[in-house]
Each structure stands twice: as structure tokens, then as C-alpha cells.
Amino acid sequence: MGRLFIYGCLYSSWTNPFYKNVLVHLYEWHNLLLLNDAKGMLMESHKKVMALIDTFSNDELFAKNTYQNK
């Protein structure tokens, strides 16, 4: 995300102070996030998803319409 994008959003229809603060926060957080930190976060979330998947049987995972909202 470049500065031009952020400045464009800040001065377009997103003039609400809340949205302005959110955009600035996201821009700063993503710019300061190191690659190794991002990889670590990805690996951690992957482990959590894999642990969750392991709690289900193959029948539950691969049967049609098992997880539909009713």
C-alpha cells in the first residue's frame, strides 16, 4: 500500500475521522511488519487451522451439506 493510495483515500469520500484513523493504522502496521513476523503469524494460524481440522472425521469433512447454515 503506497502513500498515494492512503492520501487518495484520506482526501476522497473517506473523510470521516474514524476511517481516516483506521487507514493510517493499517498503513503503519503493514509497513512496520517484518517479513519474518508475517511468516511466523502465517505459520501460527496454519497450525491452529490444522488442529481444528484434525478434530473432524473424514466423513464430516467430505460429506456434502454437512456445514450448511440452516
Q: pLDDT tens across 8-46, in order?
A: 555 555 566 777 788 888 788 777 778 888 899 999 999
- CA-to-CA distance for 1 and 23, rounded, in angstroms? 10
Domain range annotation of the chain: 1-32, 35-63
Its pTM stands at: 0.48
Predicted pLDDT at 6: 53
Residue 19 CA: distances (Å) to CA of 13, 24, 28, 41, 59:
10, 9, 14, 25, 44
